[in-house]
Structure 1
Amino acid sequence: MKTRRTQIIERTRLVPHTVDGETELVLDRQHIEVPAPPRDWDQLVRVAVTVGACVLVTASLAWTTASIGDLLAMVTLSVVAYTAAVAFDASWILCMAVEWLLRYDPERAKAAKRAGRWSLAVSMAAVFAHGYVFDQLIVGAVGAVVSALAKGGWSMAMRVHARPLDDRTQQWVTKRRATVDGQLAMIPIRRELQRGQATVEAEQRSLAADGGSADPDQSGGSADRPDQSAPSVDRKALTTKDAVRIAWTEGIRDRDAVIHDAADRLGRPVSPDSVDRYLRDLKRGA
């Protein structure tokens, strides 16, 4: 009689445990025997197909590199020749990797498919050229087919793992991806704009500071600017509007600088909205 396969699993649960009259919930671990699930042959075959495709790609890469490297070594150093030979098969392998990543975006994947076919053709032609140069046409033809077999095996593996979408679902995925891609694209754009804005504000503050220190008459006052050495105005009698007007007459135009200057004069924080309103009035009257 055939016995059913079982497996041991661990289950945990919280149970109360009391020590010296103090109760805490602790984990109670139990090992129980349950029937083992049936073997997933589909998954095993899927894994076997994937492993086989990887083996084919590896074999193709090794053969192509050896053949084309031997061909290129006729005119250059062996190290350089074999390094360059890797690019022939690596190019269509790279295209197939891109095709896999874009499997849910058929329009963008088309370019990778076309590039992969052209790269494969170039690789096969180079392998055949190696056999032709050394008068081994059969070896060159068979070696060229190795790359085609490898690409075909990997294409079959991709089909096994693919999950085709119907037209409406594909449109839904495309729109959602476009929305997310737009949000991701805005992240570096916002950072760039913030850096630019910070640079502009710093430059404006620098210009305002330079303009204040460049007054040729440092010892005396003028009609438009009060004497810096004059006694300070009573803070209790000074209003936000007065502080903003004083900053304006001193040539301070940057909003943040005006807010900072007004707060220093008043000895307390000021409302940015009020400062904006008074600055607008002063600009209209300028």
Structure 2
Amino acid sequence: MNRKYTRDGITVTRPVALPPLPLDWQMIGLRVAIVLAVGMMGVAIVWSTYSIGTLLGGGIGFAAAVVFDVSWIIVLVLEYLSRFDEEKRKFPQILGWGLLAVTMAAIAWEGLSQDPAAWGLAIFGALVSLVAKVLSLAVMDHVNVKLSPDDTAWIKAVTSDVQTKAVIAQVRRTAARDEMRATKQLLAMERELAMVRAAYGLTEPDETAETIEPSPAIAAPALTDMPAPYAIRFAASQRPELTADDLAELLADQGVDTTPDEVRQILSVTPRTSVEA
């Protein structure tokens, strides 16, 4: 921030230091709580991984034990991501308690397997995960946003609108990809058909056939009832003197949606002389 100062008609600008903002003790406290909760969860994760891995026989069993802890972390992340939607975060909350129950049972079982009389070790060993879960639950309860029913309905409506647009875009992208794949397959089949006709001499014009002068307009059947490739070939057989641009324009007048490039592509795989009128 700058401040202007004038003396004897001369004005100067000099920077002025802003006063420091007061400390946000609420945010500081929340960050300290999050750090401590993460630390406790780290201890609980190491403890449960060791206990469950030992119960599973060690070695690869430790890798299997990681599944429980990774699942717990994923549930916490999902709960945080759904902090604006109370209904959506109910499932990760319930799933988190279920995973906690399984983890505590496994830790207690591992303790009793070491010493059947050591009930205290089994119980308090399992309570490590419970304490970490309760701390994380307390932090998430502070982070979760509690909205009024009207605000919740508004957020759901906006979210639904955005997600609908994303789904429509994905569906259109998939449909366009499928249509392009189908067009490529059709063109490949047409090329193979042209090669077979050429191999058996079916593409040569019939010299004994009566020559029919083309009419100014394309005769029936209606071109709009045909797929675009067939309409292009039919039009080319009726008006062989027209260029690809003229054919595209003529087909557009008849209600067939095509382009000069598409006309050239179809005629490149199927010569005009191979198309029957």
Same fold (TM over 0.5): yes
What are the equivalent positions in structure 2 for 1:148-167 lying under 5 Å apart? 148-167=130-149
Deviations 1:194-222 (A, max 9, x none): 11111222233334444455164444327
Note the aligned Cα RMSD (angstroms): 3.8
Aligned to 2:50: 66
| Aligned residue identity for 1:100 | Y
Q: Please give the alpha-carbon distance, in whole angstroms, between the structure 2 residues aligned to 1:257 and 1:30.
A: 77
Aligned to 1:92: 72
Shift of 1:114: 1.4
| Aligned residue identity for 2:254 | Y
List gaps (5 residues or longer) in structure 2: 3-12, 257-276
Relative to 1, partners in 2 of residues 1:72 and 1:205: Cα closer, same or farther, differing over 3 Å?
A: closer
What are the equivalent positions in structure 2 for 1:176-187 lying under 5 Å apart? 176-187=158-169
CA contact (8 A) 1:102 1:109 kept: yes
Aligned to 2:271: none
Q: Please give the alpha-carbon distance, in whole angstroms, between the structure 2 residues aligned to 1:219 and 1:89.
A: 74
Shift of 1:151: 0.9
| Aligned residue identity for 1:201 | T
Aligned to 1:4: none
Q: In terms of mean alpha carbon deviation, does 212-221 or 141-150 score higher?
A: 212-221
What are the equivalent positions in structure 2 for 1:9-88 lying under 5 Å apart? 31-73=15-57, 78-88=58-68
Q: Please give the alpha-carbon distance, in whole angstroms, between the structure 1 residues aligned to 2:175 and 2:229.
A: 18
Deviations 1:144-200 (A, max 9, x none): 111111111111111222221111111111121111112212233212211111122
Deviations 1:58-111 (A, max 9, x none): 0110111122222222xxxx3212222222233223212211112222222222
1:254 to 229, 236, 256: 229
Normalised to the residue count of structure 2, the TM-score between the two structures is 0.71
The percent of aligned pairs where both chains have the same amino acid is 22
Q: Please give the alpha-carbon distance, in whole angstroms, between the structure 2 residues aligned to 1:252 and 1:189.
A: 23
More strand by share: 1
* 1:121 aligned onto 2:101: yes
2:206 to 187, 210, 221: 221
Aligned to 1:202: 184
1:278 to 238, 243, 254: 254
Q: Please give the alpha-carbon distance, in whole angstroms, between the structure 1 residues aligned to 2:138 and 2:124.
A: 21
Shift of 1:47: 0.7
Aligned to 2:122: 140
List gaps (5 residues or longer) in structure 1: 1-9, 12-28, 228-232, 281-285
- Give the 3-state SS of the residue equivalent to 2:88 in structure 1: helix
